[in-house]
Structure 1
Amino acid sequence: MKIVRIFAHRVELPLVEGSYKWSGGKSVSVFDSTIVGVETACGLTGYGEVCPLGPFYLPAYAEGVRAGLRELAPHVLGCNPRELGVLNRRMDAALKGHPYVKSGIDIACWDLLGKVTGLPVCELMGGRFGESVRLYRAISQLPPDEMARNVAEYRQQGYTRFQLKVGGDPDQDIARIRATREILSPNERLVADANTGWTQHEAMRVVRAVRDLDVYIEQPCETYEECLAIRRRTDHPFVLDENIDSLQMLLRAKSDLAMDVVNLKISKLGGLTKTRQARDLCVSMGIAMTLEDSWGGDITTAAIAHLAHSTPEELRFTSTDFNSYVTVSTAKGAPQRQHGFMQAGRAPGLGISPREEVLGERVVDVS
């Protein structure tokens, strides 16, 4: 079995809420997603998706995905997509860094492996733990009362995990956290996610001001060292995200006791293969995880669902259904939210079928 063609489509994904806002005044209204196809000599095609959260979040941007695919694709033609270890070593040798570029190819090859074996990806990644995956809802940064109203609305849809976008003015953020925590019950979880937006002294002010509340603090500052300093001065449960971009950083953070939960994003780490490695390491070390990606639509949501559903429930803090945030469906068969939960599909591979009428013309085509 050999790869004979790699292609990609560019798809715009407008947001249901109109815009998504987070720390530092950053916002996005339409996501620029790349749907990646990996075609084999036997006629099977696997699909992946890469959708950076704009060019100002992580070291990744949408056009970079397509440019990187044009550079990388010739080096993986002829590879066996079932040999995921060999494939990833080939990609790393051909293109230094840029893990997000490799992610779409790797996800597509997992889709192919599932189709060849007749098994869903979650079974190939360790098995299906539990009946469903608990979801969180990201709450776009707005004035405190508006954010609280949004939380109340999403509670009605079955969500019990909320990721509050803070990282702005500390006084406003303190009010945001208090307003939203007030309407939640004790068994519901609130995460104050600053997305690196606070300076160290601002983060210290916030965690001291909300010391009496049941809230998780996520990625308060830009650097690992700053986050560690805040971690050591608060008794809130602590989440790291942006700083954990490799197994080396994951091991360092474990050694420093720098977190209680880690956010593993598929494209940040380079695909399902490497995220699975990080996931399994977390399982062995007893670290809880949020399993997700930077953003995306139906195909990304399917990949997240299979990764999350194959993770032991006691270490699966939460996950997300990105396809419910956008107005465009790019594939049939993707997981759909049901009362704050989703399930990985039972069809072979990712269990999705792209909507050709939505994908449009290919913007990358290498054979």
Structure 2
Amino acid sequence: MKIRQIDVWQKDLPIQGPAYKMALQTLTELDTTLVRITTDTGLQGWGEVCPLGPAYQPQHAAGARAAIGEIAPHLLGENPLHTERINHRMHQALCGSLYAKSAIDMACWDISGKAYNSRVCDLLGGAVRETIPSYYAIGLSSPEDAANVAVKKQAEGYCRLQLKVGGRALEEDIACVKKVAEVLTAGTALAVDANRGLNVNDAIQLSAACRDIPFIFEQPCQTYEQCLHLRGKLHHPLWLDEVIDDLNALLRAVRDNAAEGFGMKQSRIGGISQMRTAREICAVAGLPMTCDDSWGGDLVAASCVHLGATVTGNLFAGSWIAAPYIDGHYDSQNPVVINNGVLKVPAGAGLGVIPDSALLGTPAMSLSL
């Protein structure tokens, strides 16, 4: 089997309802990139990458397509079933740009599943659960508004909520955490996520002011070193997210005993192949993780679900997907949706999602043998 053609699409994903607010940016629309790999046997695989705007991290949407354009010619004629070889060829073709490579890696896993008539989760070692918990992120808002959303989302079945803080007066963050805590019901876990929006002093003060409220404190500060400085100074478990930008960073964090868990984003570290390794590292270290991505449609969501289904026992903290914030699906027959706070593993071979290319229009880029 050989890669015969690679097509790339650009698609806008408008956010429905109010803007999505975080400590360092406010978003009303995301720019996603879809990749389709066609083989000489006629099998096709799909991948997607959607950076969380241009100011969240170095990744940005136009950069993803430029990087794919640089990489794709080197993959024509390669066997997409050989994912290790594909990743090696991508690294030879272009240094860095792991996020762009993740879309190609995803498409190759999708093809592999179809070739072997297996789901991606089965190729990754097998699903330990057929439904996985999702969680909802409450954007930066007033304490009252955040509490109202928390009540609503618990009624919809979510058992884990993530509350955004940072980028504003510390007193408002503290009030917001306390107000949301008042409405949490038994069994609902809370993560307070600053997305790097707090300095070291403010992170220590927030944790101290809310010491009687159980939550995990996710990525409070900008850098790894700043977060490491917090060890022993917080009253809450510390999780790292944005600073874990490749497998070496994850290994370093485990070595340094830098965190009690990790919010893992597949595109940030290079795709499904790298997430499989991250899963094993966290399992050996006994540290929990999420299986998420920064943003994206059904393809990204399906990949997150397949990965999450393979994480053993209490080391899995859930998968966040963007579906509640965007309107529409790539595959109307097999949409990835959250029901009662959980996600079902897609049933079809590969990712289980086949986008309708007619809805995507003309590819932004096509390369073929």
TM-score range, shorter chain: over 0.9
Q: Please give the alpha-carbon distance, in whole angstroms, between the structure 2 residues aligned to 1:158 and 1:53.
A: 26
Please identify, of 117-126 and 127-136, the stretch whose mean Cα deviation from structure 2 is larger: 127-136
Query: What amino acid does structure 1 have at the position aligned with 2:189?
Result: R
Query: What amino acid does structure 2 have at the position aligned with 1:76?
Result: L
Partner of 2:85: 86
Partner of 1:337: 338
Partner of 2:193: 193
SS in 2 for 1:319: coil
When normalised by structure 1's length, the TM-score is: 0.97
Please identify, of 122-131 and 98-107, the stretch whose mean Cα deviation from structure 2 is larger: 122-131
Q: Please give the alpha-carbon distance, in whole angstroms, between the structure 2 residues aligned to 1:358 and 1:235.
A: 49
Verify the 8 A CA contact 1:14 1:328 in the aligned structure 2: no
Offset at residue 185 of structure 1 (A) = 2.1
Q: Please give the alpha-carbon distance, in whole angstroms, between the structure 1 residues aligned to 2:128 and 2:322.
A: 21
Q: Please give the alpha-carbon distance, in whole angstroms, between the structure 2 residues aligned to 1:235 and 1:229.
A: 14
1:307-343 residue CA offsets vs partner (Å, 9 max, x unmatched): 1011113110111232232012122413321100012
Offset at residue 130 of structure 1 (A) = 2.0
Partner of 1:366: 367
Query: What amino acid does structure 1 have at the position aligned with 2:268?
Result: K
When normalised by structure 2's length, the TM-score is: 0.97
Query: What amino acid does structure 1 have at the position aligned with 2:241?
Result: D
SS in 2 for 1:142: coil
Query: What amino acid does structure 2 have at the position aligned with 1:338?
Result: N
Partner of 1:223: 223
Partner of 1:124: 123
Partner of 1:183: 183
Verify the 8 A CA contact 2:228 2:258 in the aligned structure 1: yes
Offset at residue 51 of structure 1 (A) = 0.4
Partner of 1:68: 67
1:46-82 residue CA offsets vs partner (Å, 9 max, x unmatched): 0011000001112100111111111110011111000
Q: Please give the alpha-carbon distance, in whole angstroms, between the structure 1 residues aligned to 2:345 and 2:313.
A: 14
Q: Please give the alpha-carbon distance, in whole angstroms, between the structure 1 residues aligned to 2:181 and 2:319.
A: 20
Q: Please give the alpha-carbon distance, in whole angstroms, between the structure 1 residues aligned to 2:246 and 2:30.
A: 25
* Residue 354 (structure 1) aligned with residue 355 (structure 2): yes
Q: Please give the alpha-carbon distance, in whole angstroms, between the structure 1 residues aligned to 2:256 and 2:274.
A: 22
Offset at residue 225 of structure 1 (A) = 1.2
Verify the 8 A CA contact 1:301 1:334 in the aligned structure 2: no
Partner of 1:44: 43
Q: Please give the alpha-carbon distance, in whole angstroms, between the structure 2 residues aligned to 1:353 and 1:299.
A: 8
1:275-333 residue CA offsets vs partner (Å, 9 max, x unmatched): 11111111122110011001001111001010101111311011123223201212241
Verify the 8 A CA contact 1:261 1:317 in the aligned structure 2: no
Instruction: Calculate the aligned-residue CA RMSD, in Å.
Output: 1.1
Partner of 2:165: 166
SS in 2 for 1:16: coil
Structure 2 alignment gaps of length 5 or more: none
Q: Please give the alpha-carbon distance, in whole angstroms, between the structure 1 residues aligned to 2:60 and 2:250.
A: 24
Query: What amino acid does structure 1 have at the position aligned with 2:124?
Result: M
Partner of 2:210: 210
Q: Please give the alpha-carbon distance, in whole angstroms, between the structure 2 residues aligned to 1:194 and 1:108.
A: 32
Query: What amino acid does structure 1 have at the position aligned with 2:79?
Result: N
Verify the 8 A CA contact 1:197 1:222 in the aligned structure 2: yes
Q: Please give the alpha-carbon distance, in whole angstroms, between the structure 2 residues aligned to 1:171 and 1:357.
A: 50
Offset at residue 133 of structure 1 (A) = 0.5
Offset at residue 265 of structure 1 (A) = 0.5
1:229-270 residue CA offsets vs partner (Å, 9 max, x unmatched): 223201311110011112221122112221111011010011
Offset at residue 357 of structure 1 (A) = 3.1
Partner of 2:292: 292
Q: Please give the alpha-carbon distance, in whole angstroms, between the structure 1 residues aligned to 2:231 and 2:267.
A: 26
Structure 1 alignment gaps of length 5 or more: none
Offset at residue 18 of structure 1 (A) = 3.2
* Residue 112 (structure 1) aligned with residue 111 (structure 2): yes
Please identify, of 274-283 and 109-118, the stretch whose mean Cα deviation from structure 2 is larger: 274-283
SS in 2 for 1:296: coil
Q: Please give the alpha-carbon distance, in whole angstroms, between the structure 2 residues aligned to 1:114 and 1:318.
A: 23
Verify the 8 A CA contact 1:309 1:343 in the aligned structure 2: no
Q: Count how many residue pairs are aligned between Structure 1 and Structure 2.
A: 366
Offset at residue 128 of structure 1 (A) = 0.9
Verify the 8 A CA contact 2:208 2:235 in the aligned structure 1: no
Verify the 8 A CA contact 2:130 2:345 in the aligned structure 1: no
SS in 2 for 1:317: coil
Partner of 1:157: 156
Offset at residue 356 of structure 1 (A) = 2.3
Q: Please give the alpha-carbon distance, in whole angstroms, between the structure 1 residues aligned to 2:81 and 2:70.
A: 22
